[in-house]
Amino acid sequence: MISTGSMFSHIECTSCKKTFSKDEILKLCPVDDCGKVLFPKYDLNFDKSRKSIDDLKNREPNMWRYKEFLPVNFEENIITLGEGFTPILDAKNLALDLGINKVLIKDESLNPTSSFKARGLSAAVSKAKEFGIKKFSIPTAGNAGGALSAYAAKGNLESYVFMPKDAPQANKTEVKYFGSNLELIDGYINDAGKRSLEQSSNLNLFDVSTLKEPYRVEGKKTMGYEIAEQLNWNLPDHIIYPTGGGTGIIGIWKAFQELSEIGMIESGLPKMICVQADGCSPVVDAYLKGKKYAELFKKPATIAAGMRVPIAVGDYLIINSVNQSNGTALKINDKDMVEGVKKMSSREGIFCAPEGGSIVSAAIKLISSNFIKSNETVLLLNTGSGYKYLEELTDAI
């Protein structure tokens, strides 16, 4: 077998800081009264790390170019559809409209299955395959279920997807075509999560719920590695991120901390800005109240399915990334999301999902309040495609 050269050394709890062997199959922290999120940790040997970075120019344009900083040990276990290395586009028209120096858009809609979820599921399924796992389950608002189904199909693995009945039709359809077992649930993603855990126990499935196993976040962190590499190791002043379960914003911040550890960041770190829907804003509400953990958001309602997450297991990690970066958190209503979709689409030719629309409207608010200054650079992270929301966006016109 061919080694990836991974520097993966151990697993660490993000709360109690207890460490575990990298060879254990783990979910959340097994320590009594903890149960928090586990992170893969790396022996970031300076010379080896810098050599790996120097070699990037010779590598394929996908997220596995950062294989030394990912947890899969052998290349034969990598299941890939070419995910990652999505472009960062100079949004000059939008910058002119907003009245600021520079707006960049990292367009994750160009990933396999048309969203950033491809990254996390490629990493999680690949590592699970390395452990010999062949059957998976996932609760999803839509895009994560499509991604799991695609990577399970590619790896000749079995998958079970639990999705709210009101999820976008495109997500239901793709899951069926990828050959997954789809069960539609009355309720929200947390209700789908309960059913996923129940069936995982009954059918011996490995549940890859958001942040309830250690490896999806590693795929998502590659967005941070790419932002740094594509911008020549000079990071923007602000990164605005639409947030549901929060793996993306958490992963990007983890990436910046790792790159800082090996001395690759030439600039300061950006302010991380968490955006949620005002119809489902548990993390923003907790942040605004100065709390570490969020409360269950009752009766969530928003056009943005990916943001309709009433409670997130990684809530404290989202809030940490905002606080540590001196960022902020805010909420956007559905009407403003749709206006943001129109603006990004008509001004930059990117037909974004409502989640992407939310970050445009968030930028407008933050510029108006002077949180974002006119001479600063803002990166908008568009997580998915508007083509997944054709019915919803057509009704909103």
pLDDT digits (tens, 9 = 90+) for 9-22: 999 999 999 999 99
Q: Is 49 left (phi over 0), alpha (psi -120 to 50) or beta?
A: alpha
User: Do 206 and 183 form a contact (C-beta atoms < 8 A)?
Assistant: no
Phi/psi at 6 (5° precision): -60, 140
Quick one: 288 and 367 in the same domain? Answer: yes
Same domain, 147 and 258: no
Same domain as 231, residue 163: no
Greater model confidence, 282 or 267 = 282
Asked if residue 230 belongs to a domain, the reply is yes
Beta bridge partners, 387, equal: none
* Parallel/antiparallel/unpaired status of strands 88-90 and 102-107: antiparallel
What pLDDT score does 396 carry?
78
Tokens 């080694």 belong to which residue?
3
User: What is the pLDDT averaged over residues 241-270?
Assistant: 96
Task: Give residue 147's pLDDT band: very low, low, confident or very high (50, 70, 90).
Answer: very high
For 100-122, write each residue's pLDDT tens digit. Answer: 999 999 999 999 999 999 999 99
Kindly report the average pLDDT of the chain as a whole number.
Answer: 97
Rg (CA), the chain: 19
Mean pLDDT of 258-281: 96
Secondary structure of the chain in HEC code, one letter for each residue: CCECCCCEEEEEECCCCCEEECCCCCCCCCCCCCCCCEEEEECCCHHHHHHHHHHHHHCCCCHHHHHHHCCCCEHHHCCCCCCCCCCEEECHHHHHHHCCCEEEEEEHHHCHHHECHHHHHHHHHHHHHHCCCCEEEEECCCHHHHHHHHHHHHCCCEEEEEEECCCCHHHHHHHHHCCCEEEEECCCHHHHHHHHHHHHHHHCCEECCCCCCCCHHHHHHHHHHHHHHHCCCCCCCEEEEECCCCHHHHHHHHHHHHHHHCCCCCCCCCEEEEEEECCECHHHHHHHCCCCCCCCCCCCCCCCHHHCCCCCCCHHHHHHHHHHCCCEEEEECHHHHHHHHHHHHHHHCCCECHHHHHHHHHHHHHHHCCCCCCCCEEEEEECEEHHHHHHHHHHHC
**Please, are residues 40 and 58 in contact by the beta-carbon 8 Å criterion?**
no
Do 375 and 268 share a domain, yes or no? yes
Residue 266 binned pLDDT confidence (cut-offs 50, 70, 90): confident
Does any domain span residue 65? no
- How does residue 214 score in pLDDT terms, banded at 50, 70 and 90? very high
The CATH number covering residue 184 comes to 3.40.50.1100
Percent of the chain residues topping a pLDDT of 90 = 97
8-13 and 19-21 strand pairing: antiparallel
Instruction: Give the pLDDT score at 230.
Output: 98
pLDDT at 138 over 90: yes
Residues 183 and 309 in one domain: no
Last residue in a domain, options 207, 223, 243: 207
Scan for tokens 């109690």, then name that residue.
16
Residue 78 and residue 130: Cα distance in Å, rounded?
A: 8
**Of 395 and 82, which is predicted with more confidence?**
82
For the chain, the domain total comes to: 2
Q: Is the same domain home to 374 and 333? A: yes
Residue that finishes a domain, picked among 207, 227, 262: 207
87, with CB counted inside 10 A (0-12, 13-18, 19+), is middle
258 and 277 co-located in one domain: yes
Contact between 331 and 301 under an 8 Å Cβ cutoff? The reply is no
The label of the residue with tokens 């001196």 reads 326
23 within some domain? no
Q: What average pLDDT does the segment 244-251 reach?
A: 96
Query: Are 239 and 375 found together in one domain?
Result: yes
Average pLDDT over residues 284-307: 96
Domain boundary among 167, 187, 207: 207
- Most confident of the ranges 37-41, 187-191, 196-200: 37-41
Q: What whole-number distance in Å separates Cα of residue 202 and Cα of residue 183? A: 15
Domain membership of residue 240 as a residue range: 88-115+215-396
Asked if pLDDT for residue 397 goes beyond 80, the answer is no
